[in-house]
């Protein structure tokens, strides 16, 4: 039984099957992006173990994680079983080590990497970046003028009926309702309530009309979740709040301390700050085609006493503190300055501890393939030289010799 | 005799190629000289000729305009002189009218008319309009020119409808991919009309009579007008008519400036701002502050007036003066524009396309008659074609100062180039015509694709900031494109295997074996290149966007090629497939490569739109179906193949 399983796990047929499944998977996952959007299709097809028939819980095809795992196991098992060092197989060995590294690297990237954005205007400093795909309920103690104390709860914990508490907070949070994505309208005396909208049952946080809507699929669209929550001290209620990423923080005075209650995009704080000194946005004369985006920033870390200026531009990111800052968007052209706004820049902030693996993997696989195919080619050429060539052309030894010499 | 035939054929084609390089006689107005003048468009300096050619390709789809044809009675003559029948369009020369050689305007000649004698240009049969509803909606049925079913109309004929066309095109779906064919047609017509109007206003305001006369004494005229304006601003007494005159003047120049397409006036301080070129309209508006008309404007005005009065000597003299001026301040720009002009005239890829197809046919024929001379001729022609192809490629690289592949157009050129080189290498080893066939057909098809891509405008456009890195363009893009080439070569070799084996008796066992070995070798090569190219792309993405892999359609397409090639190799190593299976898998490689090269670019296109079934998508589908058809043939057991039926009893063996 075990040996049979081992035979299957190490077989080349399994490799071929995995590769065939992978091609199909990549194809349907790519086509699905048309309807589902890049992000969701990626979650459904590539970052999943099984793909379900739409609308049912019925699995119909293995997902990216399954194929990747099986392929990895197959690779490791086959090499474990058949590995023996020989010069003839060295290229193949190197190639597969590189592949294993690449697959593992991507797995860890999936697990460990984090993307966020840092938007600032010229002159502005920030010590945090914002993750637009994730949201948090933040309770901010603003009593101290110099530092804020923030307790935040990821949106994923905001289940209806849940009661959340934290020792740093004098009160508990009870979640009444939670909507993953909402249309929000501000009422005014002149308009009537649009159809489908209703007012959330909360006495604080602003008067609004809301309407739940399905999750966004387009790349440039974000979900705007909302929730109604109640703050409790013992069993006494301090009130119910409607919070949404589209609304401003609502203030709360309690026990001589000032708080803000807000549902916002998740923020990651860093021990250092970046200040935007200058944003540059050049286009080619007579066109709208961007020629150059660049941000001159000042990097300040009081702990390590780092204080330096640097230029971040396309293809030249800043790597610091385990993070990489990439030039992403830019609003600094004539239109911006003419409309009286300050030029601003958005950096993409990525934490990816395994970012070096693809570099190494590429080297290994590339070298492995070159070695292997060079062995093939040399063998082929040798055969060509000695053998009468097949084909319709009349064989001619003189020519074949010339061919071989030309190759050198 | 047969030994000399290949040389004779090569000689004939060499003459043909050389002929187009001969300078045309410069009698009369120096059109070519005008075509060489540098202007700024799309953020880059280019000769007038490129502006003209790209505009004409967008508007008309063809690089010249015939001036003669048939009327409804079948009489031949200049369109202006033929009787205008309201019920039926004029007819252009058909391919079988061998005795008719219509006078034509080339792109630069046409542009000169548009810029300097618009009233004449308005009569040319320029705008390609083919949607039947569009023709009937705008009452164009009996108008225009009919060229083998394609219809062309003059600006004059369309002019009364411009308002409606603009209004209608303003209402089409904002997303190009969701437009119906009618919406596409109207949007394209409106786009080309605007392009035409912009060209008309680039050298002078379109209602100009005699530009030189207008500018002659211009400065003395506007002196008092500006003075009146100053007095008005300082709340002093002023001459009201003078101010009105100034405003009318400036409104006219402002309109020309807003519409101007290429920027004709070189920068005053080229050292500080080398690309600060200006439109003629803007330069004339600036005279309010500078009180000085740039010399370039005066000279262009001189050109326009001389052109209008048919004064060839005057025209050529002004042209020579302007070129001397440019030669002092902008020697590099001028010589670059001249090179690009030569490149346009020579049009290397159009030459190669002809050579490739002729070579392909010759090489195919050589199998049936086993005639060595045909194969040798094919080989010579391919060598000539590849020489021209390479010249074109290198010229583009020098002109752009870029690695070979910068956009879809140049990727087609380069995929073809890589495949042809591979074909030649194969031919060198095997000398049985297969390499020639592959080089011929892939070279022909890819250059045909490139030609069609060039119809949408400038093929040397500037690179967006994120792509503006010669390092990654030279590594990732080149390597991945060679991966495409190799996969296509393997796929097309398989097509040769199937077609020759199944339908002819010319595929011997040994040749078949050799073919399969070629396919295998090329796939090894393709795997290496597509893998390294894909990972390099990931690393570039990591450098510029912060992620190695994002499952973006283009990335997925590349990944599919890598996986597919790896699958073929593993099948082969594991003995899961033999010769025939290998061939069939390689055919599927064609489909996958086409998908990742072109198909993914179509994905932004909504799948539900009616207008979806045209353009490249249609070709993508046709190609896929054709490959599936070949695959269907490929799986037919080999004992039914014409070539192998005599080997029926021989056991088929795996090849190593």
Tens digit of each residue's pLDDT (9 = 90 or more) over B552-566: 888 899 999 999 999
- Same domain? For A199 and A299 the reply is no
Please name the residue of chain B whose CA is at the shortest distance from the CA of residue A23.
Answer: B560
Residue B275's pLDDT band, with cuts at 50, 70 and 90, is confident
- Same domain? For A158 and A255 the reply is yes
pLDDT in tens, A227-268: 888 888 888 888 888 888 888 888 888 888 888 888 999 999
Query: How far A95 CA sits from the closest chain B CA (Å)?
Result: 10
End-to-end CA distance of chain A: 53
Residue A400's pLDDT band, with cuts at 50, 70 and 90, is very low
pLDDT in tens, B291-323: 888 999 999 999 999 999 989 999 999 999 999
Measured from the Cβ of residue B170, the count of other Cβ atoms closer than 10 Å reads 10
If you average pLDDT over residues A312-322, what whole number do you get? 87
- Same domain? For B177 and B293 the reply is no
* Residue A50 phi, psi dihedral angles, 5° rounding: -135, 150
Measured from the Cβ of residue B368, the count of other Cβ atoms closer than 10 Å reads 11
Q: What is the pLDDT of residue B25?
A: 61
Residues B562 and B531 sit within 8 Å (Cβ to Cβ):
yes
Last residue of a domain, one of B274, B304, B330: B330
pLDDT in tens, A288-297: 777 888 899 9
Residue A48 located in a structural domain: yes
- Same domain? For A259 and A165 the reply is yes
Domain count for chain B: 4
Last residue of a domain, one of A267, A285, A316: A267
Last residue of a domain, one of A215, A247, A267: A267
- Same domain? For A242 and A279 the reply is no
B247 Cβ contact partners less than 8 Å away, ≥ 6 residues apart: none
Option in B464, B552, B556 nearest A290 (CB): B464
pLDDT in tens, B130-155: 888 888 888 888 888 888 778 899 99
Residue B7 located in a structural domain: no
Query: How far B82 CA sits from the closest chain A CA (Å)?
Result: 42
Domain count for chain A: 3
- Same domain? For A100 and A121 the reply is no
DSSP B402: S
DSSP A395: P
pLDDT in tens, B205-237: 988 888 988 888 887 888 888 888 888 888 888
If you average pLDDT over residues A338-358, what whole number do you get? 86
Chain A residue numbers touching B462 (CB-CB < 8 A): 284, 287, 289, 291
If you average pLDDT over residues B322-345, what whole number do you get? 90
Residue B22 located in a structural domain: no
Residue B206 located in a structural domain: no
Residue B365 located in a structural domain: yes
If you average pLDDT over residues B531-541, what whole number do you get? 89
Asked whether the predicted pLDDT for residue A68 surpasses 80, the reply is yes
- Same domain? For B313 and B353 the reply is no
If you average pLDDT over residues A327-341, what whole number do you get? 78
- Same domain? For B394 and B490 the reply is no
Is B474 in the A-facing interface, judged by CB distances under 8 Å? no
- Same domain? For A373 and A260 the reply is no
Is B656 in the A-facing interface, judged by CB distances under 8 Å? no
CB pairs under 8 A between A and B: 198
- Same domain? For B54 and B191 the reply is yes
Q: Which of residues 354-383 of A touch B (CB under 8 A)?
A: 355, 358-359, 361-362, 365-366, 369-370, 372-373, 376-377, 380
Residue B23 located in a structural domain: no
Q: What is the pLDDT of residue A389?
A: 47
Q: Which of A78, A95, A133, A284 to mutate to test the interface with B (most CBs of B within 10 A)?
A: A284
pLDDT in tens, A175-231: 988 888 888 887 777 777 777 788 887 777 667 888 888 877 666 677 888 888 888
Q: What is the pLDDT of residue B615?
A: 62
The residue among A154 and A393 whose pLDDT is bigger is A154
CA pair distance B454, B411, nearest whole angstrom: 12
Alpha helices in A83-194 (DSSP H): 90-112
Residue A63 located in a structural domain: yes
Please name the residue of chain A whose CA is at the shortest distance from the CA of residue B606.
Answer: A34
Asked whether the predicted pLDDT for residue A396 surpasses 50, the reply is no
Interior CA angle at B321 toward B320 and B327, to 5°?
85
- Same domain? For A197 and A314 the reply is no
- Same domain? For B535 and B416 the reply is no
Last residue of a domain, one of A216, A233, A267: A267
Contact B521 A369 (CB under 8 A): no
Contact B464 A289 (CB under 8 A): yes
Option in B506, B511, B600 nearest A390 (CB): B511
Residue B419 located in a structural domain: yes
Q: Is the dihedral of CA A124, A129, A132, A138 positive or negative?
A: negative
Phi-psi region of B650 (alpha: psi -120 to 50; beta: other; left: phi over 0): beta
Helix (H) or strand (E) holding A177: strand A172-179
Lowest mean pLDDT among A140-154, A377-391, B151-165, B469-483: A377-391
Lowest mean pLDDT among B193-207, B334-348, B532-546: B532-546
Asked whether the predicted pLDDT for residue A137 surpasses 70, the reply is yes
Is B70 in the A-facing interface, judged by CB distances under 8 Å? no
- Same domain? For B176 and B221 the reply is no
If you average pLDDT over residues B626-646, what whole number do you get? 87
Q: Is A45 exposed, middle or buried (0-12, 13-18, 19+ CB in 10 A)?
A: buried
Residue B602 located in a structural domain: yes
pLDDT in tens, A88-100: 788 888 898 999 9
CA A362 from chain centre, in angstroms, equals 21
Contact B540 A102 (CB under 8 A): no
Residues A78 and A95 sit within 8 Å (Cβ to Cβ):
no
Asked whether the predicted pLDDT for residue A399 surpasses 70, the reply is no
- Same domain? For B403 and B481 the reply is no
Residues B189 and B169 sit within 8 Å (Cβ to Cβ):
yes
- Same domain? For A372 and A339 the reply is no
- Same domain? For B81 and B223 the reply is no
Tell me what percent of the residues of chain B surpass a pLDDT of 90: 40
- Same domain? For A344 and A389 the reply is no
- Same domain? For B167 and B251 the reply is no
Residue B261 located in a structural domain: yes
Lowest mean pLDDT among A198-202, B408-412, B451-455, B639-643: A198-202
- Same domain? For B85 and B226 the reply is no
- Same domain? For A100 and A59 the reply is yes
The residue segments making up the domain with residue A386 are 2-112+357-402
Pick from A316, A325, A314, A315: which is nearest to A274 by CA? A325
Residues A310 and A299 sit within 8 Å (Cβ to Cβ):
yes
Query: Tokens 């699929």 map to which residue?
Result: A217
DSSP A120: E
Residues B76 and B86 sit within 8 Å (Cβ to Cβ):
no
Pick from B90, B100, B108, B89: which is nearest to B30 by CA? B108
Beta pairing partners, A59: A52
Q: What is the pLDDT of residue A219?
A: 61
Contact B550 A352 (CB under 8 A): no
- Same domain? For A335 and A366 the reply is no
Asked whether the predicted pLDDT for residue B651 surpasses 70, the reply is no
Query: Tokens 């086509």 map to which residue?
Result: A31
Chain B residue numbers touching A372 (CB-CB < 8 A): 524
Option in A350, A393, A406 nearest B546 (CB): A350
The residue segments making up the domain with residue B115 are 46-200
Can you tell me the ipTM of this complex? 0.80
- Same domain? For B253 and B353 the reply is no
If you average pLDDT over residues B580-584, what whole number do you get? 93
- Same domain? For A193 and A316 the reply is no
- Same domain? For B429 and B385 the reply is yes
pLDDT in tens, B462-491: 777 767 777 888 889 899 999 999 999 999
Chain A residue numbers touching B592 (CB-CB < 8 A): 23
Token pair recorded at residue A256? 């001589």
């Amino acid at each position: 039984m075990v040996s049979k399983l081992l035979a299957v796990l190490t077989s080349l047929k399994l490799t071929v099957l995995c590769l065939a499944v992978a091609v199909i998977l990549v194809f349907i996952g790519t086509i699905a992006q048309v309807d589902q959007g890049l992000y969701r299709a990626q979650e459904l097809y590539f970052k999943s173990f099984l793909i379900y028939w739409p609308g049912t819980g019925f699995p119909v095809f293995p997902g990216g994680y399954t194929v990747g795992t099986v392929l990895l196991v197959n690779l490791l098992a086959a090499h474990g079983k058949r590995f023996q060092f020989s010069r003839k197989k060295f290229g193949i060995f190197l190639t597969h080590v590189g592949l294993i590294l690449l697959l593992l690297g991507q797995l860890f990237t999936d697990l460990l990497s984090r993307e966020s954005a840092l938007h600032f205007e010229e002159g502005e400093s920030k010590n945090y970046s914002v993750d637009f795909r994730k949201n948090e309920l933040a309770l901010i103690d603003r009593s101290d003028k110099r530092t804020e104390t923030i307790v935040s709860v990821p949106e994923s914990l905001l289940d209806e009926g849940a009661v959340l508490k934290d020792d740093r907070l004098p009160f508990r949070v009870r979640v009444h309702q939670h909507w993953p994505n909402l249309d929000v309208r501000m009422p005014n005396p002149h308009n009537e309530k649009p159809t489908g909208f209703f007012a959330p049952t909360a006495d604080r946080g602003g008067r609004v009309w809301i309407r739940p809507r399905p999750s966004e699929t387009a790349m440039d669209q974000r979900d705007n979740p909302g929730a109604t929550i109640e703050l409790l001290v013992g069993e006494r209620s301090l009130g119910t709040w409607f919070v949404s990423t589209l609304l401003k923080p609502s203030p709360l005075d309690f026990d001589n301390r000032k708080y803000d209650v807000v549902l916002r995009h998740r923020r990651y704080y860093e021990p250092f700050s970046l200040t935007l000194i200058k944003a540059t946005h050049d286009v080619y004369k007579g066109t709208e085609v961007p020629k150059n985006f660049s941000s001159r920033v000042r990097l300040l870390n009081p702990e390590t006493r780092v204080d330096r200026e640097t230029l971040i531009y396309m293809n030249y990111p800043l790597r610091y503190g385990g993070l990489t800052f990439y030039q992403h968007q830019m609003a600094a052209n004539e239109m911006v300055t003419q409309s009286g706004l300050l030029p601003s820049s958005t950096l993409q902030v990525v934490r990816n501890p395994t970012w070096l693996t693809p570099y190494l993997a590429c080297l290994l696989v590339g070298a492995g393939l070159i070695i292997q195919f060079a062995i093939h080619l040399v063998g082929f050429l040798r055969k060509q030289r000695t053998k009468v060539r097949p084909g319709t052309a009349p064989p001619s030894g003189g020519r074949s010799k010339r061919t071989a010499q030309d190759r050198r | 005799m047969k030994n000399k035939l290949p040389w004779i054929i090569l000689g004939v084609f060499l003459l043909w190629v050389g002929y187009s390089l001969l300078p045309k006689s410069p009698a009369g107005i120096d059109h070519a000289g005008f075509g060489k003048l540098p202007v700024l468009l799309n953020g880059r300096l280019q000769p007038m000729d490129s502006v003209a050619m790209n505009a004409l390709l967008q508007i008309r789809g063809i690089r010249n305009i015939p001036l003669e044809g048939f009327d409804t009675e079948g009489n031949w003559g200049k369109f202006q002189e033929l009787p205008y029948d309201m019920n039926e369009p004029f007819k252009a020369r058909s391919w079988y009218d061998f005795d008719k050689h219509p006078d034509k305007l080339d792109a630069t000649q046409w542009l000169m008319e548009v810029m300097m004698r618009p009233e004449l240009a308005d009569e040319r049969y320029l705008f390609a309009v083919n949607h039947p509803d569009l023709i009937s909606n705008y009452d164009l049925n009996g108008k225009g020119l009919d060229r083998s079913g394609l219809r062309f109309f003059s600006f004059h004929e369309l002019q009364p409808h411009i308002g409606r066309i603009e209004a209608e095109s303003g209402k089409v779906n904002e997303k190009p991919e969701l437009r119906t064919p009618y919406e596409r047609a109207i949007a394209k017509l409106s786009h080309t009309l605007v392009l035409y109007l912009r060209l008309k206003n680039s050298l002078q305001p379109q209602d100009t009579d005699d530009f030189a006369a207008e500018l002659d004494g211009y400065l003395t005229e506007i002196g008092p007008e500006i003075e009146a304006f100053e007095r008005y601003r300082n709340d002093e007494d002023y001459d009201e008519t003078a101010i009105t005159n100034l405003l009318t003047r400036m409104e006219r120049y402002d309109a020309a400036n807003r519409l101007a397409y290429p920027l004709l006036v070189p920068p005053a301080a080229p050292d500080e701002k080398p690309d600060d070129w200006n439109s003629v309209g803007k330069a004339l508006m600036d005279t309010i502050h500078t009180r000085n008309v740039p010399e370039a404007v005066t000279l262009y005005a001189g050109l326009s007036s001389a052109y209008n009065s048919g004064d060839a000597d005057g025209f050529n003299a002004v042209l020579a003066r302007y070129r001397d001026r440019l030669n002092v301040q902008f020697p590099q720009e001028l010589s670059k524009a001249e090179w690009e002009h030569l490149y346009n005239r020579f049009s290397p890829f159009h030459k190669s396309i002809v050579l490739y197809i002729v070579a392909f046919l010759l090489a195919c024929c050589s199998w049936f008659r086993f005639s060595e001379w045909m194969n040798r001729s094919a080989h010579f022609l391919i060598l000539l074609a590849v020489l021209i192809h390479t010249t074109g490629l290198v010229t583009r690289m020098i002109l752009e100062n870029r690695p070979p592949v910068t956009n879809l157009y140049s990727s087609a050129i380069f995929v073809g180039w890589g495949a042809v080189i591979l074909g030649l290498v194969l031919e060198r080893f095997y000398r049985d015509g297969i390499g020639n066939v592959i080089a011929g057909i892939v070279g022909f098809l890819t250059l045909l694709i490139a030609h069609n891509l060039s119809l949408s405008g400038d093929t040397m456009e500037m690179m967006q900031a994120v792509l503006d890195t010669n390092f990654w363009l030279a590594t990732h893009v080149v390597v991945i494109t060679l991966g495409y080439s190799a996969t296509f070569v393997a796929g097309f070799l398989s097509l040769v295997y199937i077609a020759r084996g199944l339908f002819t008796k010319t595929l011997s066992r040994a040749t078949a074996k050799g073919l399969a070995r070629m396919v295998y070798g090329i796939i090894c090569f393709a795997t290496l290149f597509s893998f390294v190219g894909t990972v390099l792309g990931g690393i570039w993405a990591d450098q510029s966007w912060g992620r190695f892999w994002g499952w973006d359609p283009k990335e997925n397409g590349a990944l599919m090629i890598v996986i597919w090639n790896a699958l073929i190799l593993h099948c082969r190593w594991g003995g899961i497939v033999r010769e025939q299976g290998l061939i069939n898998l390689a055919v599927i490689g064609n489909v996958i490569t086409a998908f990742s090269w072109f198909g993914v670019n179509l994905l932004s296109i909504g799948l539900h739109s009616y207008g979806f079934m045209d353009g490249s998508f249609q070709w993508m589908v046709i190609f896929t179906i054709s490959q599936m058809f070949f695959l269907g043939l490929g799986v037919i057991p080999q004992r039914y193949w014409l070539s192998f039926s005599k080997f029926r009893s021989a056991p088929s063996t795996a090849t190593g």
